Structure formats: C-alpha cells, structure tokens
A and B are shown apart, each in its own frame.
Chain A
C-alpha cells in the first residue's frame, strides 16, 4: 500500500520534473503557477478534507505569508530567504490566533467567523496603504528575487522552485495522513464526539490542523509573491478563500493528490474557455455543476471509490 502510494506521488513529481524540459513556455509558466496554488489547495485540504473544518477565510493565511515576505523585503530590506521565514512566521502567528478564537465555534458559525477574519485582514491591507500600497500592491524587483544565488525570475529556476515547494507540501501531507496525529484528525472529521470520548483532546488536534494548514498556506503565499514578483491585495480578497475550496472539492477532498488535480483542472478550464468565449465563467460554472452532480467526491475521490481504495 505504501509502495503504491509512493509510486503514484513520486511518479507525479517525476512527471512534473520531466515536463519542465518538454512543455512550451506558456504552459511551463502556467504549471509553475499551478504547483504553487496546488500547494495552497493542499494546505486547505489538511483542514477541510482531513479534519472536516470548512474555512471560508484561507486568503488571510495566503496573504499573511505573501505580505509577511513582501513587506519584510520592501520595508525591512531583508533578502528572500529570511523574508520567506517572516512569511512563514506571519502565517503561524495568524493561524494560531485565528484557530484559538474561531474553534470556539463549529459548523456554519465557524465558516462565518473565518470569513469575517479574512475580510478584516483584507481591509487591513487596504487601510495600511502607506505600507502595502493598497489595491495596487507592489512589485518585487527582479534583481531582488535571488535565493542563495539562484535567480527566481528565470522560468526554469522558478519552475523548479515551485516543484520543490509542491513536493514538500505533498510529502508533508503524505506523512501527516499516516501519522497518529493525522489519523485523529480523520477521526474528528468522521465523528468528533466519539473521538473525544476515546480520550483525545479534540480542540488541541483541531488547533494543530489549523496552524499546520494556515502556515503551509502562508508559505505558498510567500512563494507565490516571491516567484512571480508581485504582492497585491487581491490575494487577500474573498475569491482567494473560495478558490482553494473549489480546487479541493473538484480534485477530491481528503486525498493527497486531489488538490493538484483540482487546481490543474480549474486553471485550464478557465484558461481554455476564456480563449473561446468571453462568457468563460459560464463554462466553468456548468463544468462545476456537472462535476458536483456526477462526481460528488471530486476527481481523486471518485478514483478512490471506484478503482484504488488504497489512495491516501
């Protein structure tokens, strides 16, 4: 079971590695972007897919990482590596505070509380426009985007940086789902009261999931800003909270590979349909409705239900 899982996920990484040398420039750039966004979706999946906590405020974490990194470079004069660390720490702090407060609620109330926190974060970005340049955002100059001597604005380097991040995120999730901690998260998703009555501290485990998910989201946000050279308020807006939910739902909640499939699918669905018609969101909407009707468990979820029961 472990070796099959290793073959599948390792195979995906190897395939992505090979694609770097094969793909035309346009798709090459897209895939780098998709890998970073899929890392974000994977982080979302830790909370939603494995723990059963539906957050509508993940943009807060993504933006915390992006702005933590960006502001540290722009105003703190830090180089990329320590700036990434600042982004990670920002995500850690924000997710810990949000977790402690929001986990006092459950269900719909939890969704609303996370949504409101994220909106507060978005408005804070706009409010402190002197530092953040508000809506407009700011560009991280090409000259500054060098990590350990590697120029991250170079497409090949950028692709491999995204691949490393994606592989790390996926490895972390694979490890998590096999760990005792991860199994308790799944138990909480399945039956929270029973989990508590088996002697597990449910609150502490859920908080752990929020912090893990929030911090990984922040790392993805920081990497996105650094690799593509732009930090903007859009990434803190509500659509960046909805995207990971959609990607995970489409790809298969509670599967390790699902978030990547969902992100890839959605990205190219919009990309291709916008080439055909200006009403591309209509195409995307119809596809979403069809998938929800006929593959309610998402792409990887259906594969698991029908073919590969072992899929983690």
Chain B
C-alpha cells in the first residue's frame, strides 16, 4: 500500500516545552487513521505541522512522495490536504452556501460545478436545506457540520479532522460515523478524536500520542487492550506512582 503522508523526526519546541518530539509517522493512502491521546499530548500541534499552520522546530513532512516541509500552508492545501478546525472556524457573516463554495472554488472552474459541489457537500452532512442561512446564525453543532462540509467540498486526498464530533448530538455523531466510512472510499482520513465509540467504529488504525511522542500504534482492538495506553489515559503510569 502506498504511503500518502509521512513524517521523519518531526519536533516542535515552545521555549523549552517539547510539544512534539521526534515523531516518525506513516499514513497509507485510503486509510482512516485515528489520532488519540490525553489533553496536551501534542495532537493538534502535530497536525498543525502537517498542514503548515505551525512551523516545526525540526524534521520533515512528506506528502505523496514530495518533501513539503518548506511549503506555506496554502500550497499544501492546494496539493490536496484539507484541515477542519478544532475550534469552529467558519465565515460567520457569509451564507452557508458561500462558506462551502469558498472551499470548492480552488479546484473547480465553473460556478455551476461549484454550486453542484456545494449542494452535494451540504447534503452529505445534512445541511442541504440551509444553504441561504448566514453561517453565524447556525447552532454550534450545525457550524461543526458546516466545517466538515467545507472539508468535503475541498475534495482532498487527505482530510484532517480535528475533533469533529465535539458538540454534536448522539444522532449527529451516528450520522458522522456513516459519513466518515462513506468518505474513506475516496479520501484518506486523519481523525483527532476523543469520542472512543467514533474511534473504535470508524478507524482502520489508531495512533496514540502522549507527551509529544507516539506511545502506541495498532488496530483499534489492539489499542483498547494495550496496558500502556490504558495507563496514559487513566493517569496510572509508573512515573505518576499512583
């Protein structure tokens, strides 16, 4: 299986704090990979370096065989990455349709094609009936769905979702799981997620981060049974001494 994205020795230090330390990571094309770990494990910093929001202190990011470590964020996005924000980040003053259209336009020429892609992306997340509404007037859960629709409309080869189910209702989470499985036919997905049912039911593989490093990697059931992972989540590792 071809590797779509990999990192070598990727590190980020914030004035002495080692947020991410020497991470080697490989993501094969077509996989749904969940990235989990306790708060402060360095997950968001790590994906921030993948898509260019954060400049690494050291190391390389390779996307589709190309070293993209020195490309600015917008160039990486143009290569086929999409990133949805942990803290909802839509265009509050613009209509729902225009939000998604902005995501679709970089890779589509005609406005008719854009309109079709917009409707398709909104239908897939269940916001198809709200195209004309102002994004800032949507409920929090709907703004999260809009964010995901924007990621879909980018038609990326790699979709990075940063805690997409945060603030969604149970029904919306169930729909989200189905959506992720549906998307994985065309897109590789990297999913930062706290909701274990989402991780267990959607991910092909799970990477666990702790203290800025990869603690474990494996299939969901292996990860669930891993004592080191349990310790990290429950805070009962040897250093803590409890």
Contacts and interface: CB of A to CB of B under 8 A. Distances in A.
Interface of A: 180, 183-184, 186-187, 190-191, 193-202
Interface residues of B, number: 23
A180 B51 CA distance: 24
Given A190-B91, A191-B91, A194-B89, A200 B98 contact: no
A158 to B, nearest CB: 39
A190 B106 contact: no
Given A180-B105, A183-B102, A198 B93 contact: no
Contact of A199 (B94, B98, B101, B106): B106
B78 interface: yes
Given A180-B105, A183-B102, A187-B102, A197 B83 contact: yes
Given A183-B105, A190-B93, 7 more contacts: A180-B105, A183-B98, A186-B94, A197-B73, A197-B77, A198-B150, A199-B154
A282 B177 CA distance: 63
Given A197-B83, A198-B77, A199-B106, A187 B150 contact: no
B219 interface: no
A198 B51 contact: no
Interface of A is mostly: helix
Contacts of B83: 197
Q: Count chain B CB atoms within 10 A of each CB in A190, A195, A200, A201 and give the residue with the most.
A: A190
6 contacts: A180-B105, A190-B91, A193-B89, A194-B90, A195-B102, A196-B73
Interface in B83-98: 83, 85, 89-94, 98
Contacts of A200: 74, 106
Given A190-B93, A194-B85, A199-B78, A184 B73 contact: no
Interface of B: 51, 53, 72-74, 77-78, 83, 85, 89-94, 98, 101-103, 105-106, 150, 154
Contacts of A183: 98, 101-102, 105
Contacts of B74: 196-197, 199-202
A183 to B, nearest CB: 7
Contacts of A199: 74, 77-78, 106, 154
Given A197-B83, A200-B74, A187 B94 contact: yes
A184 B101 CA distance: 11
Contacts of B73: 196-197
A304 B73 CA distance: 35
B154 A198 contact: yes
Contacts of A194: 85, 89-91
Contacts of B85: 194, 197
Contacts of A187: 91, 94, 102
